[in-house]
Amino acid sequence: MITIRKAILEDKKDFSNLIMISSPYFTSLFSDKIERILQNIFCNEVNLFSFKNVYFAEMDRKNAGMVLGYDWKIKRRQNFMTGLLLFKEIGFRIFLKLLLLLRFNATVGAMENGDYYISNLATYSEYRGKGIGKLLIGQSEKDAVLSNCKRVVLDVEKDNVNAINFYKNLGYNIEKEFKIDFKDNKLFFYRMVKLMNINYTQNF
């Protein structure tokens, strides 16, 4: 049996593990101490990585997966505080990556009024193929409707074909492609979108 629940502080280790599964480039983006940093800001209530913006899926009384998401109003309120917390954790070294961080903030995670953004979705490998990701996305979509969001949006790396097909099967469409210069490489992403409405009654 799979249970979806709001995150609690005790989930911080699983949160950092699952974030790194969904976004392995975070280590290069922030610091080699990213797991500790993620756990610390997860426990802070007012930032985009807060436990308040996370749901976990439990199976066999163990955390199997999680989703991090928020609406455009939360992004507007908490974006600056997220930057302050990262500065507190990383220190002045963050300025060495400032241009890269600004590029990420303006592209990956960019939102319009009325958007709900799914930032990270991840499942531990031993629990994949059991419908956990679908249930977590369903929870995010329910939250989007409750927040009167018009769209649910997410960004996925262009070469992650399995994830792209997964989202397409749930009704998401590719809106655009964009890239970010990342060290000596370029990261290519698709922005995928699903329209919401107040009569959203899809069963998960």
Specify if 12 maps to a domain.
yes
Mention every residue, 6+ apart, whose C-beta is less than 8 A from residue 15.
7, 38, 39, 42, 51, 54, 66
Specify if 138 maps to a domain.
yes
Question: What CATH code is carried by the domain that includes residue 93?
Answer: 3.40.630.30
Provide the pLDDT confidence category of residue 103 given band limits of 50, 70 and 90.
Answer: low
pLDDT of 203? 46
CA dihedral 35, 127, 169, 68 (to 10 degrees): -30
* Confidence (pTM): 0.89
Among the residue ranges 15-19, 50-54, 103-107, the one predicted with the least confidence is 103-107
pLDDT of 194? 98
Tokens of 109: 């995670």
Specify if 41 maps to a domain.
yes
Specify if 203 maps to a domain.
no
Specify if 66 maps to a domain.
yes
Write down the mean pLDDT value for the chain. Answer: 88
Compute the average pLDDT of residues 120-140.
Answer: 97
Specify if 169 maps to a domain.
yes
Mention every residue, 6+ apart, whose C-beta is less than 8 A from residue 45.
51, 52
Distant-in-sequence contacts of 177-184, Cβ < 8 A, 24+ apart: 178/107, 180/100, 180/103, 180/104, 180/107, 180/108, 181/103, 182/25, 182/28, 182/100, 183/28
Could you read off the pLDDT of 11-50 as tens digits, one per residue? 999 999 999 999 877 766 666 688 898 999 999 999 999 9
pLDDT of 23? 85
Specify if 201 maps to a domain.
no
Could you read off the pLDDT of 150-188 as tens digits, one per residue? 999 999 999 999 999 999 999 999 999 988 776 667 889
Domain that holds residue 80: 2-195
Provide the pLDDT confidence category of residue 199 given band limits of 50, 70 and 90.
Answer: low
Percent of the chain with pLDDT over 70: 83
Place of tokens 């699983």: 14
Specify if 200 maps to a domain.
no
Phi-psi region of 131 (alpha: psi -120 to 50; beta: other; left: phi over 0): left
Provide the pLDDT confidence category of residue 144 given band limits of 50, 70 and 90.
Answer: very high
What's the structural domain count of the chain? Answer: 1
Compute the average pLDDT of residues 58-87.
Answer: 93
